Amino acid sequence: MTFTKIAFVAAEHSEAQEGLETLTRLYGQAEPEDAEVIVALGGDGFMLSTMHQCVNLGVPLYGMNKGTVGFLMNDFSEDRLRERLTEAEPANLHPLRMVATQSDGSTHEAIAFNEVSLLRETRQAAKIQISVDGRVRLKELICDGVLVATAAGSTAYNLSAHGPILPIDSRILALTPISAFRPRRWRGALLPHKAEVRLQMMETDKRPTSAVADHTEVRSVVDVRIREDRKMNMVCLFDPEHSLEERILLEQFIG
């Protein structure tokens, strides 16, 4: 496919805006709703925000690094952009869907391409019961928090919490504790991508907990359900010499 209608979006900082000005001058500018591809200029944080904004458009997304972290980004260059887009390899990313219930009974839904994480709000450790597909698997986890990560997100917060790196086509989710106190030696679990995870907070008055789906935070949660939403799909494009699959594989050999 030859891409003629390209929509460029950029982070607010000067370097990304300068790249936006240069590329729109060279290749024109289409509206995201009418584009054949969206090119995002910035870092991983901006790429993630753009994925959330564009997931329902059905338009592939190609990131170019104009930020500090560029794991999800391709190298920036003004040259051969249409050829690079044509040669790029697609990665289909399905987000997690979080349904979080607060202590007042209200519920909130959000999606996450990287992870859904639960975090203690005060000095008191969180106390969480973990169920998978309706069966209690861990009656009581005392911790700073716990997260469920996608393969694409396994190299982000999940990796910082000593969770496993997952191949992009593994169809596996990572369930990873954050600073577990009891059981102290529990390091998490690998779950089928179709699994539904339920996290129930215990002693919520004493141990308030927040739930975060990428950028969306819900405070004082008592019950959180997490599952992969296969009906939603974000196609991200990567240069063939540095595909997302290769990046995740390479990350396992970096010291």
Catalytic residues: 44
Measured at the CA of 193, the angle between CA 189 and CA 198, to 5 degrees, comes to 65
Element (H, E) at 82: helix 81-87
CA distance 255 to 245: 19
The CB-side HSE value for 164 (13 A sphere, CA atoms) comes to: 14
* Residue with token string 């106390």: 127
Conformational region of residue 51, where left means phi above 0, alpha means psi within -120 to 50, and beta covers everything else: alpha
Cβ burial of 202 (10 Å; 0-12, 13-18, 19+) is middle
Measured at the CA of 51, the angle between CA 100 and CA 73, to 5 degrees, comes to 130
CA distance 62 to 237: 5
Integer angstrom CA distances of residue 142 from 39, 92, 130, 164, 172: 43, 35, 11, 21, 24
* Residue of 233, 195, 221, 193 whose CA lies nearest to 109: 221
